[in-house]
Structure 1
Protein backbone atom coordinates (compact mmCIF):
# COMPACT_ATOMS: atom_id res chain seq x y z
CA UNK A 1 0.00 0.00 0.00
CA UNK A 2 2.80 2.46 0.85
CA UNK A 3 4.40 2.21 -2.59
CA UNK A 4 1.05 2.98 -4.23
CA UNK A 5 0.76 6.07 -2.01
CA UNK A 6 4.18 7.37 -3.10
CA UNK A 7 3.36 6.94 -6.78
CA UNK A 8 -0.03 8.60 -6.42
CA UNK A 9 1.40 11.66 -4.70
CA UNK A 10 4.11 12.15 -7.29
CA UNK A 11 1.74 12.11 -10.24
CA UNK A 12 -1.59 13.34 -8.83
CA UNK A 13 -0.42 16.24 -6.69
CA UNK A 14 1.89 17.65 -9.37
CA UNK A 15 4.82 18.33 -6.99
CA UNK A 16 8.14 17.14 -8.34
CA UNK A 17 11.52 16.59 -6.79
CA UNK A 18 14.05 19.05 -8.14
CA UNK A 19 17.33 17.71 -6.80
CA UNK A 20 18.91 17.86 -10.24
CA UNK A 21 18.30 21.61 -10.34
CA UNK A 22 19.75 22.04 -6.86
CA UNK A 23 22.79 19.78 -7.23
CA UNK A 24 24.41 18.52 -4.05
CA UNK A 25 26.49 20.15 -1.35
CA UNK A 26 28.06 18.18 1.48
CA UNK A 27 26.61 19.61 4.72
CA UNK A 28 28.87 21.84 6.80
CA UNK A 29 27.48 21.01 10.22
CA UNK A 30 29.62 23.54 12.07
CA UNK A 31 28.32 26.35 9.86
CA UNK A 32 24.75 25.09 10.21
CA UNK A 33 25.04 24.92 14.00
CA UNK A 34 26.40 28.46 14.13
CA UNK A 35 23.58 29.83 11.96
CA UNK A 36 20.70 28.13 13.76
CA UNK A 37 21.97 29.38 17.14
CA UNK A 38 22.38 32.99 15.97
CA UNK A 39 19.31 35.02 16.98
CA UNK A 40 20.12 37.55 14.24
CA UNK A 41 20.29 34.92 11.51
CA UNK A 42 17.39 34.15 9.18
CA UNK A 43 18.14 30.53 10.02
CA UNK A 44 17.62 30.94 13.79
CA UNK A 45 16.14 27.56 14.64
CA UNK A 46 13.20 28.48 16.91
CA UNK A 47 11.84 30.88 14.28
CA UNK A 48 12.28 28.37 11.47
CA UNK A 49 10.58 25.64 13.49
CA UNK A 50 7.68 27.96 14.30
CA UNK A 51 7.17 28.60 10.58
CA UNK A 52 7.41 24.88 9.81
CA UNK A 53 4.78 23.98 12.40
CA UNK A 54 2.49 26.60 10.89
CA UNK A 55 2.90 24.90 7.48
CA UNK A 56 4.59 27.93 5.94
CA UNK A 57 4.92 27.08 2.23
CA UNK A 58 7.26 30.06 1.73
CA UNK A 59 10.12 28.26 3.48
CA UNK A 60 13.01 28.07 1.02
CA UNK A 61 15.27 25.12 0.25
CA UNK A 62 18.08 26.66 2.35
CA UNK A 63 15.68 27.15 5.25
CA UNK A 64 14.53 23.54 5.00
CA UNK A 65 18.17 22.49 4.83
CA UNK A 66 18.90 24.24 8.14
CA UNK A 67 15.71 22.83 9.65
CA UNK A 68 16.36 19.22 8.70
CA UNK A 69 20.13 19.03 9.13
CA UNK A 70 20.05 21.39 12.11
CA UNK A 71 17.67 19.09 13.95
CA UNK A 72 20.64 16.94 14.98
CA UNK A 73 21.64 19.74 17.38
CA UNK A 74 18.23 19.89 19.06
CA UNK A 75 17.73 18.24 22.49
CA UNK A 76 14.73 16.29 21.14
CA UNK A 77 16.73 14.60 18.39
CA UNK A 78 16.55 10.83 18.70
CA UNK A 79 17.96 8.83 15.81
CA UNK A 80 15.79 5.88 16.85
CA UNK A 81 12.54 7.78 17.33
CA UNK A 82 9.29 5.94 16.77
CA UNK A 83 5.86 7.50 16.61
CA UNK A 84 3.83 7.35 19.83
CA UNK A 85 0.93 6.40 17.56
CA UNK A 86 2.81 3.77 15.53
CA UNK A 87 0.64 0.82 16.51
CA UNK A 88 -2.62 2.65 15.87
CA UNK A 89 -1.42 3.96 12.51
CA UNK A 90 -0.09 0.54 11.55
CA UNK A 91 -3.63 -0.86 11.58
CA UNK A 92 -4.53 1.61 8.84
CA UNK A 93 -1.32 1.01 6.85
CA UNK A 94 -2.10 -2.70 6.78
CA UNK A 95 -5.63 -2.30 5.47
CA UNK A 96 -6.26 -3.36 1.90
CA UNK A 97 -8.83 -0.58 1.58
CA UNK A 98 -9.47 2.42 3.80
CA UNK A 99 -12.98 3.48 4.77
CA UNK A 100 -14.05 7.12 4.61
CA UNK A 101 -14.76 6.82 8.33
CA UNK A 102 -11.01 6.18 8.88
CA UNK A 103 -9.83 9.49 7.46
CA UNK A 104 -10.36 11.82 10.42
CA UNK A 105 -8.73 9.43 12.88
CA UNK A 106 -5.70 8.98 10.61
CA UNK A 107 -5.39 12.76 10.23
CA UNK A 108 -5.53 13.22 14.01
CA UNK A 109 -2.94 10.50 14.71
CA UNK A 110 -0.60 11.62 11.93
CA UNK A 111 -0.64 15.25 13.04
CA UNK A 112 0.02 14.16 16.61
CA UNK A 113 3.02 12.17 15.39
CA UNK A 114 4.29 15.13 13.37
CA UNK A 115 3.97 17.42 16.36
CA UNK A 116 6.35 15.08 18.18
CA UNK A 117 8.73 14.76 15.22
CA UNK A 118 8.14 17.23 12.33
CA UNK A 119 10.32 15.23 9.90
CA UNK A 120 8.36 11.99 10.10
CA UNK A 121 8.44 11.30 6.36
CA UNK A 122 6.40 8.11 6.42
CA UNK A 123 3.47 9.70 8.21
CA UNK A 124 3.79 12.96 6.27
CA UNK A 125 3.37 10.98 3.10
CA UNK A 126 0.42 9.03 4.49
CA UNK A 127 -1.23 12.21 5.76
CA UNK A 128 -0.98 13.88 2.35
CA UNK A 129 -2.54 10.79 0.80
CA UNK A 130 -5.45 10.83 3.26
CA UNK A 131 -6.10 14.51 2.65
CA UNK A 132 -6.16 13.69 -1.07
CA UNK A 133 -8.68 10.87 -0.54
CA UNK A 134 -10.81 13.15 1.61
CA UNK A 135 -10.88 15.73 -1.19
CA UNK A 136 -8.93 18.40 0.70
CA UNK A 137 -6.41 19.15 -2.03
CA UNK A 138 -5.17 22.32 -0.32
CA UNK A 139 -4.12 20.41 2.80
CA UNK A 140 -2.77 17.58 0.64
CA UNK A 141 -0.50 19.93 -1.31
CA UNK A 142 0.68 21.76 1.82
CA UNK A 143 1.59 18.45 3.47
CA UNK A 144 3.18 17.11 0.30
CA UNK A 145 5.19 20.33 0.00
CA UNK A 146 6.80 19.61 3.37
CA UNK A 147 7.46 16.00 2.42
CA UNK A 148 9.10 16.89 -0.88
CA UNK A 149 11.03 19.81 0.62
CA UNK A 150 12.59 17.43 3.17
CA UNK A 151 13.32 14.88 0.45
CA UNK A 152 15.05 17.57 -1.59
CA UNK A 153 17.28 18.37 1.38
CA UNK A 154 18.32 14.72 1.59
CA UNK A 155 18.87 14.46 -2.18
CA UNK A 156 20.89 17.69 -2.24
CA UNK A 157 23.19 16.50 0.57
CA UNK A 158 25.05 13.97 -1.59
CA UNK A 159 24.82 11.66 -4.57
CA UNK A 160 24.94 8.33 -2.75
CA UNK A 161 27.72 6.94 -4.96
CA UNK A 162 30.28 6.55 -2.18
CA UNK A 163 30.42 7.03 1.57
CA UNK A 164 32.13 10.42 1.26
CA UNK A 165 29.17 11.70 -0.76
CA UNK A 166 26.41 9.69 0.89
CA UNK A 167 22.95 11.13 1.41
CA UNK A 168 22.59 12.60 4.92
CA UNK A 169 19.60 11.35 6.91
CA UNK A 170 18.26 11.82 10.44
CA UNK A 171 17.15 8.22 10.81
CA UNK A 172 17.32 4.86 9.02
CA UNK A 173 13.62 5.00 8.14
CA UNK A 174 14.34 7.93 5.84
CA UNK A 175 16.66 5.73 3.78
CA UNK A 176 13.83 3.37 2.98
CA UNK A 177 11.38 6.19 2.30
CA UNK A 178 13.77 7.49 -0.36
CA UNK A 179 14.07 4.05 -1.95
CA UNK A 180 10.29 3.60 -1.90
CA UNK A 181 9.83 6.97 -3.57
CA UNK A 182 11.86 5.77 -6.55
CA UNK A 183 10.49 2.22 -6.41
CA UNK A 184 13.86 0.68 -5.55
CA UNK A 185 14.13 -2.52 -3.54
CA UNK A 186 17.23 -3.09 -1.42
CA UNK A 187 18.77 -6.53 -0.98
CA UNK A 188 21.06 -5.99 1.98
CA UNK A 189 22.11 -3.32 4.49
CA UNK A 190 25.63 -2.99 5.87
CA UNK A 191 27.65 -0.45 7.86
CA UNK A 192 30.60 1.02 5.94
CA UNK A 193 32.49 3.55 8.05
CA UNK A 194 29.97 6.26 8.95
CA UNK A 195 27.56 5.12 6.26
CA UNK A 196 24.74 2.71 5.73
CA UNK A 197 25.18 0.93 2.43
CA UNK A 198 22.02 -0.47 0.87
CA UNK A 199 22.88 -2.92 -1.88
CA UNK A 200 20.59 -3.86 -4.76
CA UNK A 201 20.23 -6.94 -6.88
CA UNK A 202 23.00 -6.78 -9.49
CA UNK A 203 21.95 -5.71 -12.95
CA UNK A 204 18.50 -4.46 -11.95
CA UNK A 205 19.42 -0.78 -11.51
CA UNK A 206 22.13 1.53 -12.86
CA UNK A 207 24.06 1.25 -9.58
CA UNK A 208 24.68 -1.67 -7.26
CA UNK A 209 23.77 0.27 -4.12
CA UNK A 210 23.43 3.62 -2.36
CA UNK A 211 25.37 5.13 0.57
CA UNK A 212 23.68 7.10 3.35
CA UNK A 213 25.78 9.18 5.73
CA UNK A 214 24.66 8.35 9.30
CA UNK A 215 27.50 10.10 11.15
CA UNK A 216 25.10 12.21 13.23
CA UNK A 217 22.94 9.18 13.98
CA UNK A 218 25.96 7.33 15.32
CA UNK A 219 26.95 10.35 17.43
CA UNK A 220 23.42 10.49 18.83
CA UNK A 221 23.53 6.78 19.65
CA UNK A 222 26.85 7.16 21.48
CA UNK A 223 25.45 10.03 23.56
CA UNK A 224 22.40 7.95 24.47
CA UNK A 225 24.59 5.10 25.66
CA UNK A 226 26.67 7.28 27.99
Structure 2
Protein backbone atom coordinates (compact mmCIF):
# COMPACT_ATOMS: atom_id res chain seq x y z
CA UNK A 1 0.00 0.00 0.00
CA UNK A 2 2.98 2.34 0.41
CA UNK A 3 4.34 2.17 -3.14
CA UNK A 4 2.93 2.19 -6.62
CA UNK A 5 3.03 -1.15 -8.41
CA UNK A 6 6.23 -1.74 -10.36
CA UNK A 7 4.83 -1.32 -13.87
CA UNK A 8 3.06 1.95 -13.10
CA UNK A 9 6.03 3.29 -11.15
CA UNK A 10 8.44 2.66 -14.02
CA UNK A 11 6.11 4.31 -16.51
CA UNK A 12 5.51 7.26 -14.22
CA UNK A 13 9.17 7.89 -13.51
CA UNK A 14 9.94 7.79 -17.24
CA UNK A 15 7.29 10.47 -17.65
CA UNK A 16 8.75 12.54 -14.81
CA UNK A 17 12.19 12.58 -16.41
CA UNK A 18 10.79 14.49 -19.40
CA UNK A 19 9.05 17.15 -17.34
CA UNK A 20 12.05 19.24 -16.38
CA UNK A 21 12.79 20.10 -20.02
CA UNK A 22 9.31 21.50 -20.50
CA UNK A 23 8.17 25.08 -20.09
CA UNK A 24 6.62 26.16 -16.80
CA UNK A 25 2.85 26.63 -16.82
CA UNK A 26 1.57 30.09 -15.94
CA UNK A 27 -1.06 29.68 -13.22
CA UNK A 28 -3.08 32.88 -12.86
CA UNK A 29 -5.60 32.43 -10.06
CA UNK A 30 -7.76 35.51 -10.85
CA UNK A 31 -8.18 34.39 -14.47
CA UNK A 32 -9.03 30.83 -13.44
CA UNK A 33 -11.48 32.06 -10.81
CA UNK A 34 -13.22 34.28 -13.36
CA UNK A 35 -13.58 31.37 -15.77
CA UNK A 36 -14.98 29.00 -13.13
CA UNK A 37 -17.41 31.52 -11.66
CA UNK A 38 -18.64 33.04 -14.90
CA UNK A 39 -18.67 29.86 -17.00
CA UNK A 40 -19.77 27.15 -14.52
CA UNK A 41 -21.36 24.97 -17.22
CA UNK A 42 -18.24 24.98 -19.36
CA UNK A 43 -16.07 24.24 -16.34
CA UNK A 44 -18.30 21.35 -15.32
CA UNK A 45 -18.09 19.94 -18.84
CA UNK A 46 -14.30 20.19 -18.67
CA UNK A 47 -14.33 18.38 -15.32
CA UNK A 48 -16.50 15.63 -16.81
CA UNK A 49 -14.04 15.23 -19.67
CA UNK A 50 -11.26 14.87 -17.10
CA UNK A 51 -13.21 12.23 -15.19
CA UNK A 52 -13.87 10.39 -18.46
CA UNK A 53 -10.14 10.47 -19.29
CA UNK A 54 -10.64 12.40 -22.50
CA UNK A 55 -7.41 11.94 -24.48
CA UNK A 56 -7.82 15.36 -26.11
CA UNK A 57 -7.31 17.33 -22.89
CA UNK A 58 -4.32 19.64 -22.98
CA UNK A 59 -1.90 20.39 -20.14
CA UNK A 60 -3.66 23.74 -19.71
CA UNK A 61 -7.00 21.91 -19.47
CA UNK A 62 -5.63 19.80 -16.64
CA UNK A 63 -4.37 22.95 -14.92
CA UNK A 64 -7.80 24.57 -15.23
CA UNK A 65 -9.45 21.45 -13.81
CA UNK A 66 -7.10 21.17 -10.83
CA UNK A 67 -6.75 24.82 -9.83
CA UNK A 68 -10.28 25.68 -10.93
CA UNK A 69 -11.70 23.13 -8.51
CA UNK A 70 -10.46 25.35 -5.68
CA UNK A 71 -12.98 28.00 -6.75
CA UNK A 72 -15.99 25.69 -6.52
CA UNK A 73 -18.33 25.28 -3.55
CA UNK A 74 -17.07 21.71 -3.01
CA UNK A 75 -13.53 22.84 -2.20
CA UNK A 76 -12.47 22.47 1.45
CA UNK A 77 -8.85 23.52 1.27
CA UNK A 78 -6.59 21.32 3.39
CA UNK A 79 -9.34 20.51 5.87
CA UNK A 80 -10.64 17.34 4.21
CA UNK A 81 -8.62 14.49 5.72
CA UNK A 82 -10.77 11.55 4.47
CA UNK A 83 -10.54 10.12 7.99
CA UNK A 84 -13.15 7.41 7.41
CA UNK A 85 -11.20 6.08 4.44
CA UNK A 86 -7.96 5.85 6.39
CA UNK A 87 -9.68 4.25 9.38
CA UNK A 88 -11.12 1.55 7.11
CA UNK A 89 -7.73 1.03 5.47
CA UNK A 90 -6.04 0.74 8.86
CA UNK A 91 -8.63 -1.86 9.84
CA UNK A 92 -7.87 -3.72 6.58
CA UNK A 93 -11.46 -3.31 5.42
CA UNK A 94 -10.25 -2.73 1.91
CA UNK A 95 -13.51 -3.18 0.00
CA UNK A 96 -15.24 -0.66 2.25
CA UNK A 97 -12.25 1.67 2.03
CA UNK A 98 -12.35 1.50 -1.77
CA UNK A 99 -16.04 2.41 -1.78
CA UNK A 100 -15.42 5.26 0.67
CA UNK A 101 -12.65 6.67 -1.52
CA UNK A 102 -14.88 6.51 -4.59
CA UNK A 103 -17.59 8.37 -2.70
CA UNK A 104 -15.15 11.09 -1.64
CA UNK A 105 -13.89 11.36 -5.22
CA UNK A 106 -17.37 12.42 -6.36
CA UNK A 107 -16.99 15.70 -4.47
CA UNK A 108 -13.21 15.98 -4.81
CA UNK A 109 -12.25 14.52 -8.22
CA UNK A 110 -8.80 16.16 -8.28
CA UNK A 111 -7.51 14.76 -4.97
CA UNK A 112 -4.09 13.24 -5.64
CA UNK A 113 -4.39 11.36 -2.36
CA UNK A 114 -7.65 9.68 -3.35
CA UNK A 115 -6.54 8.86 -6.89
CA UNK A 116 -3.32 7.33 -5.59
CA UNK A 117 -5.07 5.09 -3.11
CA UNK A 118 -7.86 4.14 -5.52
CA UNK A 119 -5.26 2.91 -7.98
CA UNK A 120 -3.43 1.00 -5.25
CA UNK A 121 -6.55 -0.54 -3.72
CA UNK A 122 -8.17 -1.21 -7.08
CA UNK A 123 -5.10 -3.12 -8.23
CA UNK A 124 -4.90 -5.09 -4.99
CA UNK A 125 -8.61 -5.95 -5.06
CA UNK A 126 -8.40 -6.82 -8.76
CA UNK A 127 -11.00 -4.28 -9.77
CA UNK A 128 -11.81 -3.60 -13.39
CA UNK A 129 -8.48 -2.78 -15.08
CA UNK A 130 -9.98 0.07 -17.12
CA UNK A 131 -11.19 1.68 -13.93
CA UNK A 132 -7.87 1.42 -12.12
CA UNK A 133 -5.93 2.57 -15.19
CA UNK A 134 -8.28 5.55 -15.34
CA UNK A 135 -7.33 6.57 -11.81
CA UNK A 136 -3.66 6.13 -12.66
CA UNK A 137 -3.96 8.32 -15.76
CA UNK A 138 -5.75 11.09 -13.86
CA UNK A 139 -3.20 10.93 -11.06
CA UNK A 140 -0.19 11.09 -13.39
CA UNK A 141 -1.72 13.88 -15.49
CA UNK A 142 -2.46 16.07 -12.45
CA UNK A 143 0.86 15.35 -10.78
CA UNK A 144 2.91 16.29 -13.82
CA UNK A 145 0.75 19.37 -14.46
CA UNK A 146 1.22 20.62 -10.90
CA UNK A 147 4.97 20.06 -11.18
CA UNK A 148 5.02 22.50 -14.10
CA UNK A 149 3.50 25.33 -12.03
CA UNK A 150 6.95 26.27 -10.69
CA UNK A 151 10.43 24.89 -10.11
CA UNK A 152 10.09 24.87 -6.31
CA UNK A 153 13.42 26.61 -5.76
CA UNK A 154 12.13 29.85 -4.23
CA UNK A 155 9.02 31.60 -2.93
CA UNK A 156 8.62 33.34 -6.28
CA UNK A 157 8.81 30.10 -8.24
CA UNK A 158 7.08 27.81 -5.73
CA UNK A 159 5.06 24.84 -6.97
CA UNK A 160 1.38 25.69 -6.61
CA UNK A 161 -0.88 23.19 -4.82
CA UNK A 162 -4.46 23.61 -3.60
CA UNK A 163 -4.05 21.49 -0.45
CA UNK A 164 -1.19 20.45 1.80
CA UNK A 165 -1.71 16.72 1.17
CA UNK A 166 -0.73 17.25 -2.47
CA UNK A 167 2.70 18.49 -1.37
CA UNK A 168 3.51 15.05 -0.05
CA UNK A 169 2.41 13.34 -3.24
CA UNK A 170 4.77 15.62 -5.18
CA UNK A 171 7.63 15.08 -2.76
CA UNK A 172 7.47 11.35 -2.25
CA UNK A 173 6.09 10.08 -5.55
CA UNK A 174 7.24 12.62 -8.11
CA UNK A 175 10.54 13.85 -6.70
CA UNK A 176 11.29 10.70 -4.68
CA UNK A 177 12.40 12.72 -1.65
CA UNK A 178 14.28 10.96 1.12
CA UNK A 179 13.90 11.74 4.81
CA UNK A 180 11.98 14.96 5.52
CA UNK A 181 13.95 17.11 7.98
CA UNK A 182 11.70 20.13 8.55
CA UNK A 183 8.65 22.05 7.37
CA UNK A 184 8.13 25.78 7.80
CA UNK A 185 5.45 28.24 6.73
CA UNK A 186 7.03 31.26 5.03
CA UNK A 187 4.42 33.79 3.95
CA UNK A 188 2.19 31.85 1.52
CA UNK A 189 4.61 28.97 1.09
CA UNK A 190 5.51 25.74 2.80
CA UNK A 191 9.27 25.24 2.80
CA UNK A 192 10.20 21.58 2.94
CA UNK A 193 13.75 20.58 3.80
CA UNK A 194 14.88 17.01 3.22
CA UNK A 195 18.03 14.93 3.05
CA UNK A 196 18.00 14.05 -0.64
CA UNK A 197 15.89 13.63 -3.77
CA UNK A 198 16.27 11.39 -6.81
CA UNK A 199 14.63 13.89 -9.15
CA UNK A 200 15.13 17.35 -7.62
CA UNK A 201 18.48 19.18 -7.66
CA UNK A 202 18.58 20.35 -4.06
CA UNK A 203 17.36 19.71 -0.53
CA UNK A 204 14.65 22.39 -0.26
CA UNK A 205 11.27 22.66 -1.96
CA UNK A 206 8.87 25.59 -1.85
CA UNK A 207 5.14 24.95 -2.24
CA UNK A 208 2.70 27.81 -2.76
CA UNK A 209 -0.34 27.02 -0.56
CA UNK A 210 -2.04 30.41 -0.94
CA UNK A 211 -5.31 28.89 -2.17
CA UNK A 212 -5.63 26.75 0.95
CA UNK A 213 -4.67 29.66 3.21
CA UNK A 214 -7.15 31.97 1.48
CA UNK A 215 -9.92 29.41 1.90
CA UNK A 216 -9.19 28.99 5.60
CA UNK A 217 -9.10 32.76 6.09
CA UNK A 218 -12.41 33.22 4.26
CA UNK A 219 -13.98 30.40 6.27
CA UNK A 220 -13.08 31.91 9.62
CA UNK A 221 -14.08 35.40 8.52
CA UNK A 222 -17.59 34.09 7.85
CA UNK A 223 -17.97 32.96 11.44
Q: Same fold (TM over 0.5)?
A: yes
Residues 1-226 of structure 1: matches in 2 within 5 Å? 1-2=1-2, 4-5=3-4, 9-11=8-10, 16-17=15-16, 18-39=18-39, 44-84=42-82, 86-92=83-89, 94=90, 104-133=95-124, 134=126, 136-181=128-173, 182-184=175-177, 185-201=179-195, 206-226=201-221
Scaled by the length of structure 1, the TM-score of the pair is: 0.81
Equivalent-residue separation in structure 2 for 1:115 and 1:146 (angstroms): 14
Query: Please, which runs of 5 or more residues in structure 2 have no aligned partner?
Result: none
TM-superposed CA distance for 1:130, in Å, is 2.5
C-alpha offsets along residues 125-172 of structure 1, whole Å, 9 cap, x if unaligned? 111122323163322221111101111221010000001000000111
Give the total of aligned pairs.
Answer: 216
RMSD: 2.9
CA contact 1:194–1:214 (8 Å) conserved in 2: yes
Bigger RCO of structures 1 and 2 (CA < 8 A, at least 6 apart): 1
Query: Please, which runs of 5 or more residues in structure 1 have no aligned partner?
Result: none
Which deviates further from its counterpart, 165-174 or 44-53?
A: 44-53
TM-superposed CA distance for 1:13, in Å, is 7.5
C-alpha offsets along residues 32-81 of structure 1, whole Å, 9 cap, x if unaligned? 22333454x9x931211232344434432211100111122212221123
Distance 1:83 1:58, change over 3 A: farther
SS state at 1:165 partner: coil
SS state at 2:110 partner: coil
Scaled by the length of structure 2, the TM-score of the pair is: 0.82
Equivalent-residue separation in structure 2 for 1:158 and 1:6 (angstroms): 28
